């Protein structure tokens, strides 16, 4: 499968944090022909191993998706929403959603018509608590088909823009799962000494919970977490955003400096452009939990710049994604048992 | 009887980190009913009752013994005590309340008069009056670091409801005790964990889960209510049955365990509610993330006014929960 098709397919699958079973099945099926063994654990983490005699290396990208959940059904059948992960309420009005009740139901999130707003209301942002899903059905019918706790998925439409730019929901972080896939394909033709683990993690959006347990299972010697960061957009603080056309290797106290340098060296050797970001404290990615698993794991972080994070039109550059696959494959091939002596010198 | 067990456990003193009196009460109740009991380094009481199936799974079921409270931080020269919080305790709930220290020493809580009109007073505006007339007299009775909890006060409300401090989570301790007493020849190994330090960050359950290494995890705890004036969420009501947790801040329940709970409720003929909580957490969050991950769920007892001195539950929800649990440990 082309990496682009992988991205198109994986971003369409339902997989809210904590219920990633369907995405896990897809990833397992795609990784299996490229690996020696693949398993899905009790948290729905997909753990794929490509064997080698050398150090154990874990590459992690999360596959869970933010979304909404039914928390109450009003007398008139409208659905009140809770959130799974950080959903920005400003993007909700105008959304088409799917409610996974006893069957799949289409619904819309509307808003009070602008004509009906008071001057006060006009100045305010919407709150999730004030909004609801309208299924267009009578209350009796709604109550027979929908239960509290049912998942609500925001709409996904894969939109190919110009110049290899793509807008799609859940590019955070399935675009990085696509990087894992791209790297695995390349590794079919590259020799590697390392014992490689490609992990699509669960529940990152609610606190890197899948990374915590999978890092414990894998017990890696080194790890690289892959996640998204913010790409430049008009008006955004430039100190916190990066060019969309190349990857970012973050540095900071949570990132192992020598392992990061290995990543930078690999990029240089292969003519891959890398930007630098400084993260002064925690990175809020899987890297944080993997780094302190068991007795500690030297961990680096590779980030893919993304516009409009946590919206349904997250935008990335496909070429940057593929460069990520190339870098990861080359890095995997470069890992050597001699690194052990170099880490703290 | 569930109600008697509950009353025994509610009477025990046990702020977070000082749960041994509760553990003693549990040990006494369970003597002769279980296969083993041991206490670990954090004070968790870990109780085993073996199953009969040759492929028995180990189910860890946790109920926390600790109770929110106050800790003495300073003694004023007039003999009044200044305090800080142990767990999530609000000055609004504490004001005007009677509290007790470990040896039964009573005190009453008051707010400084100039804070009377503050909508959200701080704990630093509060002091505890133990009747001492000087720092010297107070120091003979209390030391900095001593902890106080709401004074025991069990009250029946109407036909089915009961109010008391420490319902969170002694009502679950009572359920777990009764389960361990009445489960007979069940398929799976039950490891009951009467856990410590839940209110300060799920700390007891975390280490107990590491020790027990269970196949399945289940936390028993109270959950918030949505059935009193101007209260809307969660959509959980007292008297409508125990609630199966879908998610809270600490955990998204493992779908497999969640479905097993619904199945057990179905078999037991007990109506259950579905709970989505935007805040809060239970021991389940710690158990699920132990080692390489443990499939885990939470069964909740709906409880009004959680963390106040009048936590109200409905005994019908308790009876229902016990029936669900007895089925759950016997499911394939």
Name the residue facing A209 among B226, B232, B289 (closest C-beta): B289
A278 contacts A250 by C-beta, under 8 angstroms: yes
For residue A216, give the chain B residue with the closest CA: B292
The answer to whether the Cβ–Cβ distance between A217 and B292 falls below 8 Å is: yes
Name the band, by pLDDT with cuts 50, 70 and 90, for residue A112: confident
Q: Which of A125, A154, A183 corresponds to the end of one domain?
A: A154
B255 close contact with A: CB closer than 8 A: yes
| Residues 113-152 in A contacting B (C-alpha not used; CB under 8 Å) | 147-149
Q: For chain B, what's the residue count?
A: 332
Q: Does B230 contact chain A (CB < 8 Å)? A: no
Cite the active site residues of A. 204
Radius of gyration of chain B (CA): 20
Which residues from chain B sit within 8 angstroms of residue A206, using beta carbons? Answer: 252
* Distance in angstroms (rounded) separating the CA atoms of residues B180 and A4: 55
Q: Answer whether residue A290 shows pLDDT above 90.
A: yes
Give the mean model confidence (pLDDT) for residues A33-58.
Answer: 98
Based on the domain organization, do A60 and A88 belong to the same domain?
no
Element (H, E) at B49: strand B45-49
Q: Averaged over A13-23, what is the pLDDT?
A: 97
Q: Where are the alpha helices (DSSP H) in chain A?
A: 3-10, 21-31, 119-123, 139-145, 171-186, 209-218, 257-269, 286-291, 318-334
Give the 3-state secondary structure of A14-68. Answer: CCECCCCHHHHHHHHHHHHHHCCEEEECCCCCEEEEECCCCCEEEEEEECCECEE
The structural domains of chain B, ordered by start, are: 2-67+166-328 (3.40.630.10), 69-150 (2.40.30.40)
A148 is a domain residue: yes
Report whether pLDDT(B277) > 90. Answer: yes
Q: Alpha carbon of A133 to those of A73, A83, A87, A295, B298: distances in Å? A: 10, 13, 15, 47, 28
Let me know the angle formed at the C-alpha of B7 by B85 and B197, rounded to the nearest 5 degrees.
30
pLDDT tens-digit profile of B135-149? 999 999 999 999 999
Q: What is the dihedral of CA B143, B147, B151, B152, to 10 degrees?
A: -130
- How many other C-beta atoms are found inside a 10 Å radius of the C-beta of residue A59? 25
Instruction: Report the alpha-carbon distance of residue A285 to residue B73 in Å, rounded.
Output: 38
Mark which of A90, A121, A154 sits at the end of a domain: A154
Q: How confident is the model at residue A149 (pLDDT cuts 50, 70, 90)?
A: very high
CB A158 within 8 A of CB A148: no
10 Å CB burial of residue B59 (0-12, 13-18, 19+) is buried
d(CA A170, CA A313): 9
The answer to the question of residue A98 being in a domain is yes
Query: Would you say residue A43 has pLDDT above 70?
Result: yes
Mutate to test the interface with A, among B227, B252, B284, B288 (most CBs of A within 10 A): B252
Please check whether residues A89 and A55 belong to one and the same domain: no
Instruction: Verify that A178 and A280 share a domain, yes or no.
Output: yes
Nearest C-alpha in B relative to A83? B278
CB contact under 8 A, A209 and B295: no
Contacts of B117 (CB under 8 A, 6+ apart): none
CA distance A83 to chain B (A): 8
Average pLDDT over residues A73-82: 96
What is the distance between the alpha carbons of residues B45 and B208, in angstroms, rounded to a whole number? Answer: 9
B262 in A contact zone (CB under 8 Å): no
How many Cβ contacts (< 8 angstroms) between chains A and B? 71
Order of strands across the sheet that contains B161-164: B155-157, B161-164, B311-314
User: Is residue B31 packed enough to be buried (19+ CB in 10 Å), middle (13-18) or exposed (0-12)?
Assistant: exposed
From chain A, the residues in CB contact with B252 under 8 A are 17-19, 84, 203, 206
Residue A341 structure tokens: 């002596």
SS3 A306: strand
**A314 and A220: one domain?**
yes
A163 belongs to a structural domain? no
Contact flag B276-A203 (C-beta cutoff 8 Å): no
Residues A48 and A82 in one domain: no
pLDDT at A344 over 90: no
Q: Mean pLDDT throughout A176-184?
A: 98
Same domain, A215 and A104: no
DSSP-derived pairing of the beta strands B216-223 and B296-302:
parallel
Least confident of A33-42, A43-52, B231-240, B288-297: B231-240
Contact A18 B232 (CB under 8 A): no
Give the pLDDT score at B114. Answer: 82
First to last CA, chain B: 28
pLDDT tens track for A197-231: 999 999 999 999 999 999 999 999 999 999 999 99
Region A30-44: what's the mean pLDDT?
98
Interchain contact B200–A (C-beta under 8 A): no
CATH number of the CATH domain containing A150: 2.40.30.40
Q: Tell me, yes or no, whether A102 and A224 share the same domain.
A: no
A108: enclosing H helix or E strand: strand A104-109
Is residue A297 a contact partner of residue A291, using CB atoms and an 8 Å limit? yes
CATH of residue A313's domain is 3.40.630.10
Partner residue facing B276 (CB), from A17, A43, A82: A82
pLDDT bin (cut points 50, 70, 90) of residue B117 is: confident
Is A164 part of any domain? no
Q: How far is B129 from chain A (nearest CA, A)?
A: 42
The pLDDT of residue B119 is above 80: no
Contact residues, B window 285-324, toward A, CB-based 8 Å cutoff: 288-289, 291-295
Q: pLDDT averaged over chain A?
A: 96
Peptide bond into B234 cis (omega under 30): yes
Q: Are residues A219 and A293 in the same domain?
A: yes
The last residue of one of the domains, among A119, A154, A189, is A154
Give residue B233's pLDDT. Answer: 78
Q: Which residue of B has its CA nearest to A42?
A: B295
B292:A216 CB<8 A: yes
Q: Given this model, what pLDDT does residue B113 score?
A: 87
Residue A258 has pLDDT above 80, yes or no: yes
User: Do the beta carbons of residue B97 and residue B90 sit within 8 Å?
Assistant: no
| Residues in contact with A237: Cβ distance below 8 Å, sequence separation at least 6, in sequence order | none
* A22, A24, A82, A214: best to mutate for the B interface, most B CBs within 10 A: A82
Closest by Cβ to B276, choosing from A45, A148, A209: A148
Asked if residue A38 is part of any domain, the answer here is yes
**Which residues are CB-contacts of A279 (< 8 A; sequence separation ≥ 6)?**
A250, A251, A252, A254, A255, A301
Contact A71 B254 (CB under 8 A): no
Q: Specify the pLDDT at position A314.
A: 97
Q: Which secondary structure element, helix H or strand E, spans residue B209, and what is its range? A: helix B203-212
CB within 8 Å of B158: residues ≥ 6 apart: none
Please tell me whether residues A210 and A323 are part of one structural domain.
yes
Q: Are residues A238 and A328 in the same domain?
A: yes
- Smallest Cβ distance to B233: which of A21, A72, A147? A72
Q: Is the pLDDT of residue A345 over 70?
A: no
The interface predicted TM-score (ipTM) is 0.93
Give, as one character, the DSSP assignment of residue B67.
B
Please indicate, yes or no, whether residues A51 and A101 belong to a single structural domain of this protein: no
Q: How many CB atoms lie within 10 A of CB B267?
A: 15
Q: Specify whether A43 is located in the same domain as A99.
A: no
The residue segments making up the domain with residue A39 are 3-65+169-341
* Residue of A30, A313, A53, A51 whose CA lies nearest to A180: A30
- pLDDT of the residue at B332: 65
Mean pLDDT of A264-273: 98
Q: Do B255 and A72 touch (CB under 8 A)?
A: no
Mean pLDDT in residue range A1-12? 97
The number of residues making up chain A comes to 345
Does a structural domain hold residue A135? yes
Q: Total structural domains in chain A?
A: 2
Task: Say if CB A251 and CB A277 are below 8 A apart.
Answer: yes
- The span from the CA of B293 to the CA of A216, in Å, is 9
Could you tell me if residue A162 is inside a domain? no
Digit-coded pLDDT (tens) for B301-330: 999 999 999 999 999 999 999 999 999 999
- Does B169 sit behind a cis peptide bond, omega within 30 degrees of 0 on the bond before it? yes
Interatomic CA distance for residues A205 and A202, integer angstroms:
8
Mean pLDDT, chain B, as a whole number? 96
* A299 assigned to some structural domain: yes
């Amino acid at each position: 499968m082309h990496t682009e098709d992988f991205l198109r397919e994986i971003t369409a699958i339902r997989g809210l944090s904590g219920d990633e079973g369907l995405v896990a099945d897809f990833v397992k099926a795609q990784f299996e022909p490229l690996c020696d063994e693949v398993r899905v654990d009790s948290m729905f983490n997909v753990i794929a191993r490509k064997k080698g005699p050398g150090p154990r290396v874990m590459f992690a990208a999360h596959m869970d998706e933010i979304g909404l959940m039914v928390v109450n059904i009003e007398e008139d059948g409208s659905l009140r929403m809770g959130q799974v992960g950080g959903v920005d309420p400003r993007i909700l009005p105008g959304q088409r959603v799917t409610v996974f009740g006893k069957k799949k139901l289409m619904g819309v999130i509307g808003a009070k018509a602008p004509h009906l707003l008071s001057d006060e209301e006009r100045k305010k942002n919407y709150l999730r608590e004030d909004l609801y899903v309208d299924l267009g059905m009578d209350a009796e019918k709604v109550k027979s088909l929908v239960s509290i706790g049912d998942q609500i998925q925001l709409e996904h439409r894969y939109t190919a823009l110009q110049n290899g730019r793509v807008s799609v929901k859940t590019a955070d972080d399935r675009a990085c799962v696509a990087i894992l896939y791209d790297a695995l394909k390349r590794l079919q033709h590259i020799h590697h000494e390392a014992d490689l683990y490609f992990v699509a993690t669960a529940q990152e959006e609610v606190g890197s919970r899948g990374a915590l347990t999978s890092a414990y299972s894998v017990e890696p010697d080194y790890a690289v977490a892959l996640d998204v960061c913010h790409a430049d957009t008009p008006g955004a603080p430039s100190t916190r955003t990066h060019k969309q056309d190349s990857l970012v290797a973050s540095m900071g106290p949570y990132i192992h400096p020598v392992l990061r340098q290995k990543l930078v060296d690999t990029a240089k050797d292969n003519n891959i452009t890398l930007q630098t970001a400084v993260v002064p404290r925690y990175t809020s990615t899987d890297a944080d939990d993997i780094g302190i698993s068991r007795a500690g794991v030297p961990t680096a972080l590779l980030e893919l710049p993304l516009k409009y994070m946590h919206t349904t039109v997250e935008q990335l550059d496909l070429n940057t994604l593929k460069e990520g696959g190339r870098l990861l494959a080359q890095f995997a091939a470069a890992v050597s048992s001699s690194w052990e002596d170099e880490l703290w010198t | 009887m569930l109600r008697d067990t509950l009353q025994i456990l509610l009477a025990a003193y046990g702020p977070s980190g000082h749960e041994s009196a509760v553990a003693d009460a549990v040990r006494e109740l369970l003597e002769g009913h279980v296969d083993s009991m041991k206490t670990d380094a954090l004070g968790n009481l870990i109780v085993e009752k073996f199953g009969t199936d040759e492929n028995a799974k180990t189910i860890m079921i946790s109920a926390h013994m600790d109770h929110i409270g106050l800790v003495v931080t300073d003694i004023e020269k007039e003999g009044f005590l200044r305090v800080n919080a142990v767990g999530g305790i609000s000055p609004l709930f504490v004001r005007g309340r009677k509290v007790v220290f470990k040896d039964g020493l009573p005190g009453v809580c008051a707010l400084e008069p100039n804070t009377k009109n503050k909508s959200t007073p701080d704990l630093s505006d509060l002091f505890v009056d133990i009747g001492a007339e000087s720092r010297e007299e107070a120091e003979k009775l209390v030391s900095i670091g001593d902890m106080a909890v709401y004074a025991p006060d069990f009250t029946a409300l109407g036909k089915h409801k009961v109010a008391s401090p420490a319902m969170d989570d002694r009502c679950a301790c009572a359920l777990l005790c009764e389960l361990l007493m009445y489960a007979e020849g069940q398929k799976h190994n039950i490891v009951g964990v009467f856990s410590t330090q839940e209110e300060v960050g799920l700390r007891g359950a975390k280490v107990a889960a590491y020790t027990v290494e269970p196949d399945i995890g289940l936390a028993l705890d109270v959950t918030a209510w949505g059935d009193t004036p101007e209260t809307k969420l969660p959509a959980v009501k007292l008297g409508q049955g125990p609630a199966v947790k879908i998610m809270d801040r600490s955990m998204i329940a493992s779908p497999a365990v969640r479905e097993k709970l619904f199945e057990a409720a179905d078999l037991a003929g007990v109506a259950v509610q579905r709970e989505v909580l935007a805040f809060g957490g239970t021991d389940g969050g710690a158990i699920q993330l132990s080692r390489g991950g443990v499939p885990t769920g939470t069964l909740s007892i709906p409880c009004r006014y959680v963390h106040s001195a009048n936590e109200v539950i409905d005994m019908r929800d308790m009876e229902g929960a016990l029936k669900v649990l007895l089925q759950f440990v016997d499911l394939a």
